[in-house]
Amino acid sequence: MYSLDDTIAAIATSIGQSGIGIIKLSGPESLPIARQLFRSAKGISKLQPYHLHYGHIVDPASNIAVDEALVVYMPKPHSYTQQDIIEIQAHGGIVPLRRILQLVLSLGARPAEAGEMTLRAFLNGRMDLAQAEAVLDIIEAKTDAALRVATEQLGGALSGQVSQVRRALLDTLAFLEASIDFVEDEIPLQDVVGPLTDVSTQLEKLLISADHGQIYRQGIKAAIVGRPNVGKSSLLNALLRGERAIVTEIPGTTRDTLEETANVGGIPLVLVDTAGIRTDTADKVERIGVERSQKALQQADIALMVIDGSCDLERSDWEIEGLVRHKPGLLIVNKTDLLSAKNLQPPANFYPDAERCRISALENQGINTLEEAIVELVLGGGVTPADTPMVSNPRHKALLQRALEHTQSAITGQQNELTPDLVSIDVREAVETLGEITGETVTEDLLDTIFSKFCIGK
């Protein structure tokens, strides 16, 4: 069992040099510890709740000031963890923050585990599990769209829907269990298939949103491939709107894969620039680079195959085409600014399933259209139902899928006139599975797995 009775403390801001850094305490000893360390500039002896107090953190053993600080006291239950919280805002240097934390620990607090503040918020009922997970998603959001999905989830949009569906299932379960114990005319008859079908529709809607939600949260990996000198690194730079990769007129400039995340229509697009692939190279370094390119291609979700529009297709282009042929992706004809490029139309059997885009990475032409094509390829033109919160967490998706299977199995069972005790098994499974999303039914192991992904101090 988790202990909630002791006082935990951690540096809540990232370690490095910054204007301020925050040390956070949560638990019953927070206030007594702060009292021993804080000396108010105004000589105020009591830390008033929700007031910012200015003064110094003082080592009680030597009475020497360690740093100037602002201190705020947030008494339970109106705090993040629903426990007494003290936040010390000191200067954001590694030494002052470590020193203050040391003092706090020497006065009886214990170092917080990763995610332990949020775990306490969950265990004390301030938020459910899906909301707690949203906190991590907010911290890790890579684009505005991902942030929006996470903020909605923190606000309880997903939890609300899941709880509603779960209540409907509980209602049906209560009826089924009653019909096991009583003969038919003793309890009012209730429709089972109708409500279960509604539940199944709701779950399906949530699952449709999950594919998109996951893309916004985790992003998509795209390998930029092509023979040397076609403009792969130039394309990477154009999509990042910056000079990230080295570009030269020398074929074989990029020797190792390079990974950067671009924001393409709200989707975090992890771009992997690769060494130009030519199989006949004798250069040892380049050969290793080529092997890495092939590996990057295998690991990518989509391929962005670049060809040089200013000359004819070469043997290497066809060789690379053989590698990408069965991968979803786009065929990008680059260097369309050059006069000779105007007419290059790769034959229809060259990367046949890929949409074609004509661009000039050098002059930034066609980049917006290319981005639209990427979004279209990745989201498949599908639309998430507007009234449905987006499911972005693979854990939630798997649980929704399982709940749906049990619900559908219960419907079939009922239609085939199975006895209520048999039908109720599936309904109960569905109820418990949904409870794992919001945390009503959850094991300690699972909580450990989820919260260990958090940073210390959150």
Binding residues for Mg ion, per CB under 5 A? 232-233, 253-254
Give the residue with the Cβ less far from ligand GTP, 160 or 252: 252
If binding is defined by CB under 6 A, does position 377 make contact with ligand GTP?
no
Binding characters for ligand GTP, 330-369, by CB under 6 A (x = yes): ----xx-xx---------------------xxx-------
Among 14, 18, 102, 248, binds ligand GTP (CB under 6 A): 248
Residue 314 interacts with ligand GTP (CB under 6 A): yes or no: no
Piece in contact with ligand GTP (CB under 6 A), picked from 19-27, 73-81, 242-250, 368-376: 242-250
* Binding partner of residue 202 among ligand GTP, Mg ion, none, CB cut-off 5 to 8 Å per kind: none
Which of 79, 209, 233, 424 is close enough to bind ligand GTP by CB under 6 A?
233
Least distance from C-beta 375 to ligand GTP, angstroms? Answer: 22
- Applying CB under 6 A, among 229, 281, 393, 407 the residue interacting with ligand GTP is 229
Binding residue (CB under 6 A) for ligand GTP from 27, 92, 231, 439: 231
- Residue 230 found at the interface with ligand GTP (CB under 6 A): yes
Tell me the chain's radius of gyration from C-alpha atoms.
29
Q: Report d(CA 152, CA 388) in Å as an integer.
A: 11
Could you tell me the smallest distance in angstroms from the CB atom of residue 155 to ligand GTP? 44
Part in contact with ligand GTP (CB under 6 A); list of ranges 76-84, 207-215, 227-235, 440-448: 227-235
Contact 252, 283 (CB under 8 A): yes
Q: Is the Cβ of residue 135 or residue 247 nearer to ligand GTP in the bound state?
A: 247
Query: Residues in the site for ligand GTP, rule: CB under 6 A?
Result: 226, 228-234, 247-249, 251-254, 275-276, 334-335, 337-338, 360-362
